[in-house]
Amino acid sequence: MSIWTKATMQGVHLSIRGDIYSEHIEFLQNILLERLRYGFRYIVIEIMGICLCVDQAAAMLEYVRSRFRHEGGELIVQNRSSSFQID
C-alpha cells in the first residue's frame, strides 16, 4: 500500500494505491482522524489499484465518515478499484 497526500486550504486529497491489509487499517484511520483534529473538514480519498482489501477497511471508512459529518465536515471516497466496495 502506498499513500500520497496533498493538503490545500480547501481540504486534503489522499490517494491510496495497492493492497490494504489488516495492519494498515489503524494506520489509515489515524491519518484521517489526525487531519480532522488539525481542522480539515473536507477530505477526498482516491482508491486505485487495489486487488486485495480486508473487510475492515470499508467499516473504518464509514466510521471516519461519520466522525467527519459529526464535526460538520465531509469525507468523499472516489473508488477507482473494482475490488473495493463502499457505499
The C-alpha atoms of residue 5 and residue 56 are separated, in whole angstroms, by 22
Where are the chain's structural domains? 2-79
Q: Tell me the pTM.
A: 0.82
Task: Tell me: pLDDT of 9 over 90.
Answer: no
User: What is the reported pLDDT for 19?
Assistant: 83
Q: What is the DSSP string of 54-76?
A: -THHHHHHHHHHHHHHHTT-EEE
The C-alpha atoms of residue 75 and residue 65 are separated, in whole angstroms, by 5
Which CATH fold topology does 2-79 show?
Transcription Regulator spoIIAA (3.30.750)
CB-based contact 80:46 (threshold 8 Å):
yes
Grid cell 486534503 — which residue? 12
32-85 tens-digit pLDDT? 999 999 999 999 999 887 776 777 888 899 999 999 999 999 999 887 665 565
